Amino acid sequence: MTATTATSAETWPDAAEWTGKIYSGGWRQAEGGTQPVYEPATGARLAEVGVASPGDVARAGALAARAQRDWAAVSPAERAEVLLRAARELREHSDAIREWIVRESAGVPAKGDYEIAAGLSQLAQAAGMASLPLGEILSPSLPGQSSYAWRVPLGVVGVINPWNAPLLFAMRVLAPALVLGNAVLLKPDPRTPVSGGVVVARLFEDAGLPEGLLHVLPGGPGTGEAVVADPHVAMVSFTGSARAGRAVARAAGDGLKRVALELGGKNSIVVLDDADVAAAAAGAMSTFGYQGQACVAAGRHLVHADLVEPYTEALIGHAQALRLGDPRDDGVDLGPVIDERQAARIERIVDESVAAGARVRAGGRRDGLFYPPTVLDRVARAMPAFGEEIFGPVAPIIAFRTDAEALDIANDTAYGLAAAVHSRSLPRATAFAGQVRTGMVHINDVTAKDAANAPFGGMGASGNGSRIGGTANLEQFTQWRWTTLPGTV
- Does domain 15-263+463-482 fall under CATH 3.40.605.10? My reply is yes
Which phi and psi (to 5°) does residue 180 adopt? -90, 5
> Is 161 within 8 Å of 216 (Cβ atoms)?
no
Edge-to-edge strands, sheet with 214-216: 27-29, 21-23, 214-216, 183-187, 156-160, 233-239, 258-262
DSSP state of 196: I
CA gap 174, 179 in Å, rounded: 8
Residues 280-292 pLDDT 10s: 999 889 999 999 9
Q: How many CB atoms lie within 10 A of CB 58?
A: 16
> Is 98 within 8 Å of 112 (Cβ atoms)?
yes
| 239 three-class SS | strand
pLDDT at 1: 29
Mean pLDDT of 348-356: 98
Residue type, 264: G
> Is 22 within 8 Å of 28 (Cβ atoms)?
yes
Active site residue 295: yes
Nearest 5°: the CA angle 210, 203, 57 is 60
Q: Which of 99, 295, 388, 389 is catalytic?
A: 295
Name, in order, each residue with C-beta under 8 angstroms of 10's C-beta and a sequence gap of 6 or more: none
pLDDT band at 487 (very low <50, low <70, confident <90, very high): confident
**Domain regions of the chain by residue span:** 15-263+463-482, 267-451
Residue type, 488: T
CA gap 51, 22 in Å, rounded: 7
pLDDT at 179: 98
Alpha carbon distances (Å) from 185 to 121, 174, 190, 217, 426: 22, 9, 15, 7, 45
CA gap 225, 387 in Å, rounded: 29
pLDDT at 488: 57
| 312 three-class SS | helix
pTM: 0.94
CA gap 147, 154 in Å, rounded: 22
> Is 72 within 8 Å of 153 (Cβ atoms)?
yes
- CATH superfamily name and code, 267-451: Aldehyde Dehydrogenase; Chain A, domain 2 (3.40.309.10)
Residues 29-68 pLDDT 10s: 999 999 999 999 999 999 999 999 999 999 999 999 999 9
pLDDT at 427: 97
The rounded percent of the chain whose pLDDT value lies above 90 is 95
Q: Which of 115, 225, 262, 389 is catalytic?
A: 262
> Is 261 within 8 Å of 228 (Cβ atoms)?
no
pLDDT band at 389 (very low <50, low <70, confident <90, very high): very high
